[in-house]
Amino acid sequence: MGVMVVVPAHLFFWRTLFGVALVGIASSTVFLALVVVASLRYRRNARREAARVASLSPDVFPPISILKPVHGVEERLEQNLESFFRQDYPNFEIVFGARSADNEALLVVEKLRRKYPQVAVKIVLSGEPVWPNAKVYSLEKMIAQSAHDFIVISDSDIWVSKDAMRNIVAPLLDNHVGLVTCIYRGVPSHDFGSGLEALGMSIEMTSGVVVADMLEGMKFALGAIMATRKDVLPAIGGISATKEYYSDDFVLGNLIAAAGYKVVLSHQIVGHVLVPRSLGKTMADQLRWMKSTRFSRPKGHVGSGLTFSTPYGLLALIAGSALSMTDLGIALFAWSILNRIIQSLVAGWGVTGDRRSLTLCWLYPVRDFLGFFLWVASFNGGTFFWRGEMYRFEHGGRIVPEHRSATVAAEVVQVSRREI
């Protein structure tokens, strides 16, 4: 006759938590291994592609239209925009989009236009947006006014090197390629909040992108830089196909890939320049992005909870101490910290060349720890504040402005299309 062993409730509780910690540490270790392999693969491919582009004659590069939506004056806006004026590219124009002529960013544009008279510049005023995504509303009008078939869409807070357009446009010479996008490194301001966010951009974002590219190929785009051709857009119903989405960049890449075109992750790294803000504002923005992922890629968002490391290491330390396994708990916690330091060095420094990912690699575990709690918080609610308006997420990542009538907007869209 067997003997029944009764485990005290408190021991069962701590053993369960320790088991959860072990699963999390194991999964984050597997993720780190994938990041290392994917980063090495990216670097190898980047070196090969850079050499190929360098060998191309300037005559093969087509004229391009660079589309830059602007929304007010941001820190280092002039330097960011100027980096596009200074491109070492044979023939290009820059098309700026704003809601109205009194947008202060246009004063910066005019200053740069006078400084670089050889660069063709257009300004397109979109008026107040009637689509849920105001940037996409502006982009459709900008595309209609652009002179060239090859277009490069870039946010106003992006800085690029002088050879960026050559490197980014080159893959589009292959008609099977429908979109090119770029990894970006975070460029912080002088405050702690933007510094922590910049680390996340250089390390966390880069890690996820290179792993996704290795495992299934690029099926999405990153909004910092997206290059495509006008002949590709009709296959997805035009840029307006993304007008209802917060993550319009992800959707654009997804639709172009689904249409049978190849989406290419460029070897070009660009800078995403951040503005000074409080840690609370930084966390609020990151929470909005995570909520977007929760609605647009729900399964992937749930799975991303297993890529964190430091929260599980801390849980192992606490549960291990409660179970009289303090040494094991300390060892697991130490590994969870080292795990994130290695990720910082491999992805942040090794891929994007972000020196802060090298010198501040010890700080990235803090970003990882905070990121986990933002991930947990992302499952609560679906509203967010963006560009002066309150929005609501819906199924598939669509967004609905809380204070604009969707019916009226749809009617105005039809009128605007006829006018265009």
Single-letter amino acid code for the residue at 79: Q
Given a cut of 70, whether residue 92 has pLDDT beyond it is yes
Whole-number pLDDT of residue 394 = 87
Q: Give the separation between CA 243 and CA 235, rounded to whole angstroms.
A: 16
Helix 310-322 and helix 326-343, axial crossing angle in degrees, nearest 10: 170
Q: What is the pLDDT of residue 343?
A: 98
Query: Taking the domain 60-279, which CATH number applies?
Result: 3.90.550.10
pLDDT at residue 3 tops 70: no
Distance (Å) of CA 90 to CA 150, 165, 179, 379: 13, 10, 21, 48
What percentage of the chain's residues is helix, strand, coil (to nearest 5)? Answer: 55, 15, 25
CA dist 56 and 78 (Å) reads: 31
Q: Which letter does DSSP use for residue 346 in this model? A: I
The 10s digit of each residue's pLDDT in 11-68 is 889 999 999 999 999 999 999 999 999 999 999 999 999 999 999 999 999 999 999 9
Cβ(93)–Cβ(121) below 8 Å: yes
Structure tokens of 207?
């890690």
pLDDT band, very low/low/confident/very high, at 1 (cuts 50, 70, 90):
very low
* pLDDT of 149 over the 80 cut: yes
- Chain segment 200-242, per-residue pLDDT in tens: 999 999 999 999 999 999 999 999 999 999 999 999 999 999 9
What is the residue whose two structure tokens read 């942040």?
348
Beta strands in 53-134 (DSSP E): 64-69, 92-98, 120-125
- The secondary structure element, H or E, covering residue 10 is helix 9-54
pLDDT at position 329 is 96
- Mean of the pLDDT values across residues 160-187? 97
Contact at 8 Å (CB) between 249 and 222?
Answer: yes
Roughly what angle, to the nearest 10 degrees, separates helices 326-343 and 9-54? 20
Ranges of each domain in the chain: 60-279
Q: Which of 189, 196, 222, 220 is nearest to 344 (CA)?
A: 196
Tally the C-alpha atoms within 13 A of residue 19's C-alpha that lie toward its C-beta: 6
Question: What does the pLDDT read at residue 324?
Answer: 92
> How far is residue 71 CA from its own chain's centroid?
19
Q: Is residue 141 over pLDDT 90?
A: yes
Block residue for tokens 């391009």:
64
**How much is the pTM?**
0.90
Distance CA 36, CA 84 (A): 32
Q: What is the pLDDT of residues 295-322, one digit of tens each?
A: 888 888 899 999 999 999 999 999 999 9
For the stretch 384-401, pLDDT in tens is: 777 677 888 888 888 888
Residue 405 confidence (pLDDT):
52
What average pLDDT does the chain have?
Answer: 91
Q: Quick one: CA dihedral 253, 259, 265, 266, positive or negative?
A: negative
Do residues 64 and 169 lie in contact, with contact meaning Cβ atoms separated by under 8 Å?
yes
As beta bridge partners, residue 245 has 398
Please give the Cα distance from 328 to 336 (Å, whole number).
12
